A and B are shown apart, each in its own frame.
Chain A
Amino acid sequence: MTTAIKTRIDASRDCRGIGCPMNLVYTKVELSRLAPGQVLEVILDHGAPINNVPRSVIREAHEIIGQNRLDDGAWQLLIRKV
Chain B
Amino acid sequence: MIEFNEEQLQRYSRHILLADVGVEGQEKLCRAKVLIVGAGGLGAPVALYLAAAGVGTIGIADADSVEISNLQRQISHFHHNIGDAKVDSAREKILAINPEIKVNTYYEYLRADNIREIIRDYDFVVEGTDNFPTKFLVNDACIMEGIPFSHGGILRFDGQAMTVVPGKSACYRCVFREPPPPDAVPSCSQAGVLGAIAGMLGTIQAAEALKFITGAGELLTDTLLSFDARNMDFRKTRLHCQENCPICGKNPGIHELIDYEHGGCGIKSSKSVAA
Contacts and interface: CB of A to CB of B under 8 A. Distances in A.
A25 B19 contact: no
| Most chain B CB inside 10 Å of its own CB: which residue of A22, A28, A29, A60 | A28
| Secondary structure call for the B interface | helix
A6 interface: no
A24 interface: yes
| Most chain B CB inside 10 Å of its own CB: which residue of A25, A26, A29, A56 | A25
A22 B19 contact: no
Contact of A32 (B10, B17, B19, B24): B24
Contacts of A29: 4, 9, 16, 23
A59 B18 CA distance: 11
Nearest to A60: B19
Interface string A1-36: 000000000000000000001101110110011000
Interface residues of A, number: 12
B37 to A, nearest CB: 34
Contacts of A26: 9
8 contacts: A21-B17, A22-B9, A25-B13, A29-B4, A29-B16, A32-B1, A32-B24, A59-B19
Given A28-B22, A32-B1, 19 more contacts: A21-B13, A21-B17, A22-B9, A22-B10, A25-B9, A25-B13, A25-B17, A28-B16, A28-B23, A29-B4, A29-B9, A29-B16, A29-B23, A32-B23, A32-B24, A33-B1, A59-B19, A60-B19, A60-B22
Interface of A: 21-22, 24-26, 28-29, 32-33, 56, 59-60
Contacts of A21: 13, 17
Interface residues of B, number: 11
Interface of B: 1, 4, 9-10, 13, 16-17, 19, 22-24
| Secondary structure call for the A interface | helix
Nearest to B27: A32
A22 B13 CA distance: 7
| Most chain B CB inside 10 Å of its own CB: which residue of A32, A33, A60 | A32
